[in-house]
Structure 1
Amino acid sequence: MTEDRKTKLMLIDGNSITYRAFFALPSLSNAEGQFTNAVYGFTQMLLRMLQDEQPTHVAVAFDAGKQTFRHAVYEEYKGTRQKTPSELSEQFPLVKDVLAAFGIPALELGNYEADDIIGTLSRLADAAGIQTLIVSGDKDLLQLVSDNVHAALTRKGITEVDYYTPKGVHERFGLTPQQIIDLKGLMGDSSDNIPGVPGIGEKTAIKLLKAYPSVEEVLSHIEEISGAKLKERLTTYKDQAIMSKQLATIHRNVPLEWTLDDLQYHGYDSEAVRKVFQKLGFKSLLDKVADGDDTAVADAAVAVKASAFQDVVNITTKRAFTEFWGQLTDPVGIIPVCDSDDYHTATLLGFAIGTKDTCAYISFTGELEFTDVKEIWSSDYEKVVFDLKQLIVLLDGHGMTLQPGDTWFDVLVAGYLLNPSDGESTLTDIVERELNRRIVVPKHGEPGREAALALLAGTLPELKVHMANALSAQELDDLCYKVEIPLEFCLARMEVLGFHVNEEKLKALGRELSEQLEALTKQIYELAGTEFNINSPKQLGEILFDKLGLPAMKKTKTGYSTSADVLEKLAPYHEIVAKILEFRQLGKLLSTYVEGLLKVIRPETKRVHTRFHQALTATGRLSSTEPNLQNIPIRMEEGRKLRKVFEPTYRDWIILSADYSQIELRILAHLSGDEALIEAFRNDYDIHTSTAATVFGVPLDEVTPTMRRQAKAVNFGIVYGISDYGLSQNLGISRAQAAKFIEDYFAKFPGVARYMHEIVETARKQGYVTTLLNRRRYLPDIHSRNYNVRSFAERTAMNTPIQGSAADVIKLAMVHIDEALRTSDLKARMLLQVHDELIFECPEVELEALSDLVRENMENAVTLNVPLKVDINAGPTWYDAK
């Protein structure tokens, strides 16, 4: 590398940033159920630093393993650290996937730590006069700071940093960067189990180093130091201080396999980054990735030549349409062309039509109108579309009601069933993946969009043949044609109908929450003895720990943690803590839900029209957005009150709720054949009480609330492959206690233990697992050499048949109920699906008939060796129906 004023090297401490991100952010997971909060936080930081710093060279360093040369010096080095939670360790490979997409090298070297790699690279850059920025959350790296080497240490979560130059280090500690090593030598470091000198903290150590510039100098002047106890400690632990300094010293002469030239950064391939963000579920970060140049896309897909656009027929008259339509061959690909992607409000401009022989754009901008092309929907041609549900919604807005039948094929649903881990793919993604063909579609309003969509429509019949064969080969025909495609008609009707919201009640709830927040604010100020920004973690930490003297349960490197789990543990110490927790909960209810719902009530209908996503989650579960009605918080009464604003359309109507009772545990009983579980469900016991009685070895009537609570956490945790760390966090117990609880559970439910083992073996043999309706979940990582990656795949193998089967069952029930309602004389309507619950509205006089219809179809959707049970409730609002 040659010296260049513009050259800038950025070195990131991968372990430190990922670790901090994991504990700074709430639990997140992608469509496959992989934990992603650490990689999400890391990626946020990476994007910000790339934008702010504009480096020409970048590298991220990681620890290669647990043992380093420092363990030869001190066997107990880092010995007090708890085992890294699997929820964190399984995210390191994902972080490296992100780096690979960005074209940034991930460096690690056996027997050395990330700090040593960073230390060596920064030394080489410093010697070459190259400006270097080190990004970490660890103050140890401040010892590397020089005129050419600066440091950015994370604070306030993960994306905000404090910058350190030599002057900044001196302002913070009163020391030079090199003396940070001596500081650690004297005071030690509990996080790395560096002992230092017992009884010497940061303040005393800094005072000593201001008088004597190094550990060696301090030790050689012990007799001149005041304080008998301090002298005694320095004398007694002299060798330990020297060793501690040695442990804290970053090795800057590591035998590297890379040169500075290997770290050149030329920007990222936006297509590669987009794909990894989609896999990880980072939709909010996709907007931050530039569109990029199409030439940067891998050449694996063959681009459609520009000359093909000239073959698109443009149809603007009724006569031309009639002639064109009469000559088509079956099947026909159809894509609506609109002025926006929101089919609920979009204006229909025309249709792109394609077969294996021809493609055309039918335009409504001339004399041709929508009513002139009704043959498209009434014909017996098999119609191949992308996202049938959205098409049904769109056409409903233009006065056309589509009916279920055998003439529909949806490549979105088919692609989802064949590749469930890909999430909600675009049509161009599917064409590229299945046909190795790339068609770039211009944006709305740009020239050539209609022609490109016509070419895409022409690929749909070919896709249909290709994908239908694949569905049959994988025995997915019934799931596709009898569940998923019919379900689209049901979901579309629910989207169009929406759910009536009493806007005045919602506004009144908002005022009530605002008043409660105002009163809480005053109470918190009184208890604190001063006014402060309750939403500021820094100010809150100062009040709780400095002013009120509460014990610091968790302290980050930049201050006190005031996360929800910390506050919950502090609640018994002072009444202010409960008030703060309530303040946060009410604030989120007001901003996210009350104000959020008010924004999406459609003025003309007075309803909210959520969007159901059928092809998103790898498990098969539905999700909803705009608004997400599946996530309304109901654990606290104020959250449950939100359901009071959801009312029937008419005054003499009523809301009915039908909820599967513990369906996942019932499916677990069926799949595992565990006798104890099966007996509990057949005898209609409270399953959590029954589990507690079995695990703790007590009669049912002697199960305490605490026992039941612990059993409930394990019951649901087992379904999701919970770890001892996860269970310990849920129950507030030690990891050892949690591990013992899980061990006892499997001992008392051997059928479950056997099933969990056998399903993992099945996944290893065939590479996937299936649900009751044969939905597949591929697990390519089940054979990974990386323990954490393999462990995640194993937990997914255990969970998917259970969670995915639950999704299958309620989808099948919805299809049957929808058909039963359409063929009955009932006015009742299905409004919403929330996980295992279905919501309806009906005239009060239909309540009994609707209850019978719903119960019959839900409890008999499939046959298990334990009964399916549905709890049905009704009332004037959604709140009252629970």
Structure 2
Amino acid sequence: MSKKLVLIDGNSIIYRAFFALPLLNNDKGVYTNAVYGFTTMLLRILEEEKPTHLLVAFDAGKTTFRHATYKAYKGGRQKTPPELSEQFPVLKELLDAFDIKHYQLDQYEADDIIGTLSRQGNNEAWEVTVISGDKDLLQLVSNHVSVHVTKKGISDIEKYTPEYMVEKMEITPEQIIDLKALMGDSSDNIPGVPGVGQKTATKLLKQYTTLDGVYEHIDEVSGKKLKENLTNHKADAFMSKELATIDRDSPIEISVDDIAYEGYQQTKVSTVFKDLGFLSLLKRITGESEEEAQESTIMKEISFVVAEEVKTDMFTGDESLVVEMVGENYHQSDIEGFGIVNKEKAYFIPTVTALQSDAFKEWAEDPAKTKSVFDAKKTMVALLRNGIHIQGISFDMLLTSYLLNPAENSHDIPAISSRMGKNDVLFDEEVYGKGAKQKIPEQEKVAEHVVRKTAALFALKDEMSEQLRANEQYELLKELEMPLALILGEMEHLGVQVDISKLEEMGADLKERLNTLEKEVHELAGESFNLNSPKQLGPILFDKLKLPVIKKTKTGYSTAADVLEQLQNEHEIIPKLLMYRQLGKLQSTYIEGLLKVVKKDTMKIHTRFNQALTQTGRLSSIDPNLQNIPIRLEEGRKIRQAFVPAKKDWIMFAADYSQIELRVLAHIANDEKLVAAFQNDLDIHTQTAMDVFHVEKDEVTSNMRRQAKAVNFGIVYGISDYGLSQNLGITRKAAKNFIERYFDSYPGVRLYMDEIVQEAKHKGYVTTLMNRRRYLPEINSRNFNLRSFAERTAMNTPIQGSAADIIKKAMIDLHWKLKDEKLESRMLLQVHDELILEAPKEELDKLKEIVPEMMEKTVNLNVPLKVDYEYGNSWFDAK
């Protein structure tokens, strides 16, 4: 029997799987998306390749023998996300269940293990298949070895043989190392030769065959700059070749004979699949019974009616409703139809049928008819646009999923259903496609998809509500998040008026400033060049003006913002470049960006508030992001001049909490001195400076207060001595002493910090004052960095999360107060700790009374909440 050896690059494939699939976790809170993706691929490999010998190779650690040659090898890599780190041991446990050998070797990479074993297989004339997401391994290709490279996630694979490489890449497997030597590899931080990309490197190798050949014929190389770069970076090229060369004779303690594979025992794998919640994969390997299959689906065959008209007897008074809209921005999407499911029947109602029906409107607006929906805010906006003000929403699946799993980044119905063990709801992209290929199929397909999603919602709402009750979070959903969702829906629908002419005027001013700055930079440089081109800017700064080189990239000098900031005092050209970039971003992102999203018929902007995104519970906004307008820069602040009231003789009114997070800290920690400072309305930063520096009030200098302010806000964010030293420009030792003196002055805060970390280690999560949870799976990690980050998160989440909950409750209280008082004033925006309203001038005195009262009295803390307000003809004037 012929031998078939399969070698899998474990690190590469699990990374690919992690970024290809949405974050999923099982009922124990363990992240599983990368393992799920890897396993899906593994099952396909086992079915298609039928290996007789099999191994999964892993990297052993960050340091390899290559670092002795080049310390910066792989230096630019991002830190492995903690959500992925914790999946490596899970994957190895799963491989053990499959009886698949896995191996790693200290100081060596997975590539070297694969290279050594593939050489052994090749020498024995076995058929060898290497599977990776990394093209470095193409150097192993031979008549007996093929390399399968994943592209676009993990499902699409490209098979490389010697013939295919010559056809596709115009080079042979042996030339891959020389290709890397010339062009470098940014993912591994291999420098190569600046200015040489794949096209140039391939051309050189076609002419001169090898790297040695290129340098033997260096005088023949055409192109002055290319020849110069090759000459100046010869040492880099040969070092890069050494780094890129896979060690095919690494000192591994296994051979191909040790990795024979005879298949897996179904019972062992099934146990692990059940534990991980991989029910669809379980079904794939077991062929479970009809009854068992039914348990993991919403309904195998879905029966529904496409309603040609809406009748009142269709509704029982307890329905699930899905308003189907395709595309993320539902302010711009059409409704594709409605799914309605109750305990008796399932319906799909075409859009026109529903919206032209009095019976549908009457049902939707009846508060006595309860409705469970997927996303109350989106549902509210979609129906308000069509003259229907929905009432009676009793359950929101999106918000419930968010409260149960705040770390998840996928909260659509198929993902939620899958997490709850129901696997027969298709993802939208499977029905509609993605990006440019997105299109609406025939009604029959849309109808089944929408009804299946609605059926999932109906089937899971009670179970999800019970999970919330078990977490003591049901009140958080019903009293805070759901009422707020409907208010946000009204705010989004209402939108904010924009003065287009003001934006255009600011745009023209910025253009003028940018032109002036460009001329000034050109004069200082002594020549004209493209300020937006790092390739042109780098040589000006570092070759011509001889500024110190801070960082290099594969293509030349780095001119990133952090590099320019370090050079600010070296030459007067740098501040002008930094200002040019800041103003350029204002122009493109905010002036042009805002003009693009203004609705032409109303001259309003309708931002979308993300209510189910941040782990702290804070709201964010998108399309456009109005929370990110840079207000530290005067030109940025002025953009707020374009946000104006929608009616004549109205004003903008802005109210924001003063130091809300520090006040929450005082309440939670119940530190005597901190509480007293706020109760006596003292300047908290001056008070902290007095306590920490042991001076009287009149002895506090502006620098002392600045340092005290940095540590006050730093404590809220769980700052480290390193972080504080960077903020204040002091030594780490001085920062550590500062933090120690702070804790000596406020022992209640130190006690809170210690106790909350211990609580997180015991429970695995922390909570806000209103019982919002944040899970911290890394809190007991053996990895110091992961554990330290989790500890800081444990300290700051109850503070930030409680502040977020307080402003949400204030919005609800204020909304109803405005209605009770029968005022025309209305909320438009929430930005961090600030609420922005528009109001008739004659209601101003009433607002001055109502807004601070509602915001300050919304919760009862042991320190007072304080609200400042301003008003004027624009948002800018109200600050």
1:256 matched to which residue of 2? 252
Deviates more, 1:859-868 or 1:513-522: 859-868
Q: How does 1:152-167 map to 2 (within 5 A)?
A: 153-155=184-186, 162-163=197-198
2:308 matched to which residue of 1? 316
Equivalent of 1:563 in 536, 560, 565 = 560
SS where residue 567 of structure 2 aligns? helix
Q: How far, CA to CA, are the matches of 1:367 and 1:865 in structure 2?
A: 51
1:134 matched to which residue of 2? 136
Q: How far, CA to CA, are the matches of 1:257 and 1:658 in structure 2?
A: 68
1:194 matched to which residue of 2? none
1:190 matched to which residue of 2? none
Could you tell me how far 1:98 is from its partner in structure 2?
A: 10
Q: 1:720 to 1:867 in 2, by over 3 A?
A: same
Q: Does 1:874 align with 2:871?
A: yes
2:549 matched to which residue of 1? 552
Q: Does 1:336 align with 2:323?
A: yes
1:394 matched to which residue of 2? 382
Could you tell me how far 1:859 is from its partner in structure 2?
A: 0.7
Q: How far, CA to CA, are the matches of 1:643 and 1:478 in structure 2?
A: 37
1:25 matched to which residue of 2? none
Q: Does 1:684 align with 2:681?
A: yes
What does the per-residue CA deviation read over 1:730-755, in whole Å, with 9 as the maximum and x for residues that have no partner? 34445454444444433443322221
Could you tell me how far 1:433 is from its partner in structure 2?
A: 2.3
SS where residue 572 of structure 1 aligns? coil
Equivalent residue letter for 2:407? S
Q: Does 1:499 align with 2:487?
A: no
Q: Does 1:110 align with 2:106?
A: yes
Could you tell me how far 1:492 is from its partner in structure 2?
A: 0.9
What does the per-residue CA deviation read over 1:466-521, in whole Å, with 9 as the maximum and x for residues that have no partner? 12222222221221111111111210111011111100110111111111111100
Q: 1:494 to 1:134 in 2, by over 3 A?
A: same
1:94 matched to which residue of 2? 84
SS where residue 709 of structure 1 aligns? helix
Contact kept in structure 2, 1:349 and 1:365, CA below 8 Å: no
Q: 1:254 to 1:402 in 2, by over 3 A?
A: same
Equivalent of 2:399 in 384, 408, 413 = 413
Equivalent of 1:432 in 409, 418, 421 = 418
Could you tell me how far 1:635 is from its partner in structure 2?
A: 0.8
Q: How far, CA to CA, are the matches of 2:102 and 2:586 in structure 1?
A: 41
Q: 1:90 to 1:669 in 2, by over 3 A?
A: farther
1:44 matched to which residue of 2? none
SS where residue 320 of structure 2 aligns? strand
Q: 1:31 to 1:783 in 2, by over 3 A?
A: same
What does the per-residue CA deviation read over 1:59-114, in whole Å, with 9 as the maximum and x for residues that have no partner? 99746266x8899xx9xx99x99xx99x965647737869999x999985335578
Contact kept in structure 1, 2:9 and 2:110, CA below 8 Å: no
SS where residue 629 of structure 1 aligns? coil
Q: How far, CA to CA, are the matches of 2:874 and 2:742 in structure 1?
A: 40
Q: 1:108 to 1:742 in 2, by over 3 A?
A: farther
Q: How does 1:50-61 map to 2 (within 5 A)?
A: none
Contact kept in structure 2, 1:830 and 1:838, CA below 8 Å: yes
Could you tell me how far 1:872 is from its partner in structure 2?
A: 0.7
Could you tell me how far 1:704 is from its partner in structure 2?
A: 3.6
Q: How does 1:282-321 map to 2 (within 5 A)?
A: 308-309=301-302, 311-318=303-310, 321=311
Q: 1:420 to 1:576 in 2, by over 3 A?
A: same
Q: How far, CA to CA, are the matches of 1:511 and 1:126 in structure 2?
A: 67
% same residue: 45
Q: How does 1:470-869 map to 2 (within 5 A)?
A: 470-556=467-553, 559-869=556-866
Q: How does 1:205-244 map to 2 (within 5 A)?
A: none
2:360 matched to which residue of 1? 373
Could you tell me how far 1:176 is from its partner in structure 2?
A: 8.8
Q: 1:807 to 1:708 in 2, by over 3 A?
A: same
Q: How far, CA to CA, are the matches of 1:782 and 1:610 in structure 2?
A: 36
Contact kept in structure 2, 1:11 and 1:58, CA below 8 Å: no
Q: 1:432 to 1:252 in 2, by over 3 A?
A: closer
SS where residue 550 of structure 1 aligns? coil
Contact kept in structure 2, 1:31 and 1:616, CA below 8 Å: no
Q: 1:413 to 1:204 in 2, by over 3 A?
A: closer
Equivalent residue letter for 2:184? L
SS where residue 881 of structure 1 aligns? coil
What does the per-residue CA deviation read over 1:13-55, in whole Å, with 9 as the maximum and x for residues that have no partner? 99xx99xxxxxxxxxxx999xxxxxxx9xxxxxxxxxxxxxxx
Q: How far, CA to CA, are the matches of 2:841 and 2:400 in structure 1?
A: 40
Q: How far, CA to CA, are the matches of 1:520 and 1:98 in structure 2?
A: 51
Equivalent of 2:370 in 382, 386, 392 = 382
Q: How far, CA to CA, are the matches of 1:701 and 1:107 in structure 2?
A: 67
SS where residue 764 of structure 1 aligns? helix
Contact kept in structure 1, 2:492 and 2:608, CA below 8 Å: yes
Q: 1:355 to 1:718 in 2, by over 3 A?
A: same
SS where residue 659 of structure 1 aligns? strand
Q: How far, CA to CA, are the matches of 2:314 and 2:233 in structure 1?
A: 87
Could you tell me how far 1:870 is from its partner in structure 2?
A: 0.9
Equivalent residue letter for 1:867? P
Q: How far, CA to CA, are the matches of 2:839 and 2:794 in structure 1?
A: 41
Could you tell me how far 1:652 is from its partner in structure 2?
A: 1.2
Contact kept in structure 1, 2:373 and 2:457, CA below 8 Å: yes
What does the per-residue CA deviation read over 1:554-603, in whole Å, with 9 as the maximum and x for residues that have no partner? 44565433222222221112110000000100110011111100000001
2:42 matched to which residue of 1? none
SS where residue 422 of structure 1 aligns? coil
Could you tell me how far 1:762 is from its partner in structure 2?
A: 0.5
Q: How far, CA to CA, are the matches of 2:232 and 2:464 in structure 1?
A: 72
Could you tell me how far 1:655 is from its partner in structure 2?
A: 0.8
What does the per-residue CA deviation read over 1:211-257, in whole Å, with 9 as the maximum and x for residues that have no partner? xx99xxxxxxxxxxxxxxxxxxxxxxxxxxxxxxx999997643337
SS where residue 448 of structure 1 aligns? helix
2:345 matched to which residue of 1? 358
Q: How far, CA to CA, are the matches of 2:550 and 2:103 in structure 1?
A: 34
Q: How far, CA to CA, are the matches of 1:487 and 1:750 in structure 2?
A: 37
Q: How far, CA to CA, are the matches of 1:756 and 1:247 in structure 2?
A: 46
Q: How far, CA to CA, are the matches of 2:574 and 2:10 in structure 1?
A: 40
Q: How far, CA to CA, are the matches of 1:588 and 1:390 in structure 2?
A: 31
SS where residue 877 of structure 1 aligns? coil
Stretches of structure 1 lacking an aligned partner (at least 5 in a row): 19-29, 33-39, 41-56, 137-144, 180-201, 215-245, 265-293
Contact kept in structure 2, 1:13 and 1:60, CA below 8 Å: no
Q: How far, CA to CA, are the matches of 1:515 and 1:867 in structure 2?
A: 48
Deviates more, 1:365-374 or 1:570-579: 365-374
2:45 matched to which residue of 1? none
Q: 1:857 to 1:723 in 2, by over 3 A?
A: same
SS where residue 360 of structure 1 aligns? strand
Q: How far, CA to CA, are the matches of 2:55 and 2:206 in structure 1?
A: 24
Q: 1:258 to 1:495 in 2, by over 3 A?
A: farther
Q: 1:100 to 1:783 in 2, by over 3 A?
A: closer
Q: 1:730 to 1:540 in 2, by over 3 A?
A: farther
Question: RMSD between aligned alpha carbons?
Answer: 5.1
Q: How far, CA to CA, are the matches of 1:298 and 1:581 in structure 2?
A: 63
SS where residue 336 of structure 1 aligns? strand
Deviates more, 1:787-796 or 1:410-419: 787-796
Contact kept in structure 2, 1:424 and 1:615, CA below 8 Å: no
